[in-house]
Amino acid sequence: MTARKSRVRPWFFHGGMSVLAFLWLVPLALVVVTSLRTFDDLADAGLASVPKGLTIDPYRQALDSGEWQSIVNSLIITVPVVVVTLVLASMAAYGLARHRIPFRKTMLLLMLAGNLLPAQLLLIPVLKLTEQFGIFDSRIGMIVVLTAVGLGFYVFVLHGFMRGIPDEITHAAKIDGATTFGVYLRIVLPLTKPAMAALGSLAFTWTFNDLLWAITLLRDEQKLPVTPAILGMQGEFVSSWNVIAAATVIAAIPTVIVFLRFQRYFISGLLIGSAK
């Protein structure tokens, strides 16, 4: 009975997974194929048709229409956001997890509660605030806001993770004469590396793919990150689907690189967090 079950199960699993994987990949494949077709071919035959021929022209058009600049903008915004977020969140999480700070539970809950508010609710107030501070329509403003918006969540996750680090290790370090900051830098941070890597790649993706804040806080075409720039390629009535598809494929490359680089941390990091 059990022997039979174990023979059937892998087949069932693999069969099911191939179907699911196929369903996942079809839209992606469609985007890639669309990005390699000419516009006239698409307009004549429609999206769901066999391509007449393939060309890399849409990629050239996408890059010529200023996509480089917008990807650079995206990176100028994303990299500082990820770095600052991780530095601040890990410090705050360490403080909240390992020190008897008054109202630490309340603080944590407040941070979490902030995350439960829909971003749409914050758009106008934040817009007005950034205007008051003179950072409206600037990439610095985007960095400040995106950092602030994400911080609560990252602190919460890292807090849970850091509480899982055995007390004995930090105590031993303290006995050996480490300062509080020394413990953070030499003991806690290295142990938190998997979670930091996982959160870092998440933060990168979220920030890089952000559209809502970008179209709220930025106005100047020259400063727009890649997501609204792609949106801008659409016409009011008619869009060049192939160029947009090519632009999306190009825009996906940085996040894919980050994910591939960090994926081993990603899985272990999230698992450790959940097993706490």
Partner 1 sequence: MSHPMSRRGFLAGVGAFGVASALAGCATSTPSPAAGSGTKKSAALQLKSRETSDGGRKAMQALLDEFAKANPQYKPTLNTMEPAAFQQQIRADLTLATPPDMLTWFAGEIASNFAKQGLLLDATSAFPADGYSKQFADLSTDASGKKIFVPTNYYWWGMFYRTSQFEKWDVSEPKTWDEFIALCKTLKGKGVSPIALPLADSAWLTASWFDYLNLRINGATFHRALLAGQESYTDPRVAKVLDTWREVLPYLDPAGKGLAFQEGSAKWQQGKDAMFLAGTFLGDATPADVKADVNFFQFPIIDANVPVAEEAPLDGFIASARTANPEGALAFMKYVATPQAQELYLKTSGSTLIPANSNAKSPVSTPLLEKGRAMVASAADVTQFFNRDSNDDQLNALTTALVRFIDKPDEAGDILKKWQDDSAKARGN
Q: Where are the beta strands (DSSP E) in the chain?
A: none
DSSP 214-240: HHHH---GGG--HHHHHHTTS-SS---
How far, in Å, CA of 256 to CA of 244, rounded? 18
Candidate segments 19-27, 123-131, 165-173, 196-204, binder of partner 1 by CB under 8 A: 123-131
Tell me the number of residues near partner 1 by CB under 8 A.
Answer: 46
Q: Does residue 64 touch partner 1 according to CB under 8 A?
A: no
Nearer to partner 1, 111 or 233 (CB): 233
**Closer residue to partner 1 (CB): 243 or 266:** 243
CB nearer to partner 1: give 231 or 260. Answer: 231
Note whether 201 and 258 are within 8 A (CB): yes
Amino acid in position 70: S
Residues 201 to 230: which contact partner 1 by CB under 8 A? 215-216, 219-223, 228
153 scored as a contact of partner 1 (CB under 8 A): no
Give CA torsion, residues 164, 168, 173, 174, to 10 deg: 100
Helices (H) and strands (E) in the chain, counts: 13, 0
Q: How far apart are CA 21 and CA 212, in angstroms?
A: 30
Question: Among residues 59 and 184, whose Cβ is nearest to partner 1?
Answer: 184
Look up tokens 């605030």; give the residue.
129
Among 36, 84, 157, 249, binds partner 1 (CB under 8 A): 84
Token pair in block for residue 179: 């300062």
CB of 276 to partner 1, least distance (A): 26
Q: Does 241 engage in binding with partner 1 (CB under 8 A)? A: yes
Please state the closest distance from residue 43 (CB atom) to partner 1, in A: 5
Burial of residue 158 (CB within 10 Å: 0-12, 13-18, 19+) is buried
Minimum separation from the CB atom of position 84 to partner 1 (A): 5
181 contributes a contact to partner 1 by CB under 8 A: yes
Contact status, residue 58 vs residue 241, Cβ threshold 8 Å: no
- Tell me whether residue 43 or residue 113 sits nearer to partner 1 (CB atom): 43
Which residue among 18, 239, 263, 271 contacts partner 1 (CB under 8 A)?
A: 239
Cα angle, residue 177 at apex, residues 176 and 180 outer, rounded to 5°: 120
Residue 101 touching partner 1 (CB under 8 A): no
Query: Is 55 exposed, middle or buried, given 0-12, 13-18 or 19+ CB atoms closer than 10 A?
Result: middle
For the bound state, the minimum distance from the C-beta of residue 5 to partner 1, rounded and expressed in Å, comes to 44
- 57 burial type by CB count under 10 A (0-12 exposed, 13-18 middle, 19+ buried): middle
- The least distance separating partner 1 from the CB of residue 134, rounded to whole angstroms, comes to 6
In the list 31, 107, 135, 148, the residue contacting partner 1 (rule: CB under 8 A) is: 135
Residue 63 in contact with partner 1, rule: CB under 8 A: no
Give residue for tokens 């004549």: 44
Residue 32 interacts with partner 1 (CB under 8 A): yes or no: no
Interface residues with partner 1 (CB under 8 A)? 40, 43-44, 46-47, 76, 79-80, 83-84, 87-88, 91, 124, 127, 131, 134-140, 143-144, 179-181, 215-216, 219-223, 228, 231-239, 241
